[in-house]
Homo-oligomer: A and B are copies of this chain.
Amino acid sequence: MRKMKNVDEFRAEREELNRLVLARAGKEMKRFFNVDAGVYRDGALPAKVKELLGLVSSLALRCDDCVAYHLMRCREEGVTDGELEEALAVGLVVGGSVTMPHLRRAFRMWEELKSDAGA
């Protein structure tokens, strides 16, 4: 029921709004944004696995924008089609059929990300 923005539009709007949030944010909100960036960095677990963790928990919690963001990052980290499908299957089973609309949009965005890269 919701028009998907294409990848470039998504990126642009996300960056514009992040600028607005950070201009308005107080100390604690800014620190939250830093922690949110920090937990996905390479460590005992590689960034690729952490992005998959972010992706699957976002799917289970049914957050389209979060799924979209982690899909972009998964693509950058070299996640393959097979790895993506298996990760999404975990999220689908954990979160149930209410995740299916988000799953559909996730596969569509993945196709867009792949065709972008090929361009």
Contacts and interface: CB of A to CB of B under 8 A. Distances in A.
Interface of A: 1-5, 10, 14, 17-18, 20-21, 24-29, 31-32, 34-36, 38-40, 43-45, 49-50, 52-54, 56-66, 68, 80-83, 85-101, 103-105, 107-108, 111
A3 to B, nearest CB: 7
A87 B21 contact: no
Contacts of A93: 28, 32, 35-36, 39, 96-97
Nearest to A80: B44
A17 B105 contact: yes
A86 B26 CA distance: 7
- Interface SS majority for chain A: helix
Contact of A104 (B21, B36, B56, B92): B21
A86 B1 contact: no
24 contacts: A1-B4, A1-B68, A18-B104, A21-B104, A25-B85, A25-B89, A26-B85, A28-B89, A29-B85, A29-B88, A40-B90, A49-B52, A53-B56, A56-B57, A57-B95, A61-B61, A61-B94, A62-B63, A63-B101, A64-B101, A66-B94, A95-B98, A96-B96, A96-B98
